Structures are given as C-alpha cells and as structure tokens.
Amino acid sequence: MAKLALIITSTAVPGKREDIHRLYREQLAPRAEADDAQEVVVWCDDHGDEDTFHLFEIYRTEAAFRDNAASPFFADYMATAGPLLAAKPEVRMAKPRWSTGI
C-alpha cells in the first residue's frame, strides 16, 4: 500500500497558537513518537502569521491515518484544542514520491 502524506494548515484564535502547541506536545506528540505507522510528523509555525501553524505528516498507509483520526485520544485532543482554533483546519492529502533527509 502507498504511504499517505498530510499537509494541514490551521489558524489559532489570536494569541492561542502557543496554547495549541502545548496541548499538541502533551497529548499527540508522545503518541506520534510511539507510532511506527506515523513515520514523520513536523509542526511548523507559519513564518508570516503568528497565529497560523502547519503540520506535515507521513503515514505508512491510509488505513493507519484513518485509525489515528478515528481514535478516542484524537477526539479528546480536538475537544480541548478545537475551541482555540479560529477556523476548521485545511487538510490536504498527498502521495509522497520523493524526499531527502527523513
């Protein structure tokens, strides 16, 4: 099966990006570090907008992504972080074809 990449762009309520990052590090980062099917996860603060951030993730399979997205721990995270978002995240799915350094 083909790997799946996600490119997610989110905008926090003004001044809340650091709060979302803290929640992410506490609730999702440890799970990502322990999940062999979630091969790459990168959090990026937007360079031009202090409230926007991007996540880049590569999953071993699309099924692994679906399992992660449907998990109770992700629902718990979104219940906490969701009110800190200014809008629904923009999610793009892609098929990785080439990379370096990962």
CB-based burial of residue 17 (10 Å sphere; 0-12 exposed, 13-18 middle, 19+ buried)? buried
* pLDDT tens readout for residues 15-30: 999 999 999 999 999 9
CATH number, domain of 55, equals 3.30.70.100
Inside any domain, residue 102: no
| Whole-prediction pTM | 0.92
Inside any domain, residue 38: yes
CA–CA distances in Å: residue 41 to residues 32, 34, 56, 73, 100 = 7, 12, 6, 17, 15
Inside any domain, residue 100: no
Number of domains in the chain: 1
For residue 58, what pLDDT is reported?
Answer: 97
Inside any domain, residue 33: yes
User: Within the chain, which residues score under 70 in pLDDT?
Assistant: 1
For residue 101, what pLDDT is reported?
Answer: 79
Inside any domain, residue 77: yes
Inside any domain, residue 72: yes
Q: Residue 53 belongs to what domain range?
A: 4-94
For residue 100, what pLDDT is reported?
Answer: 86
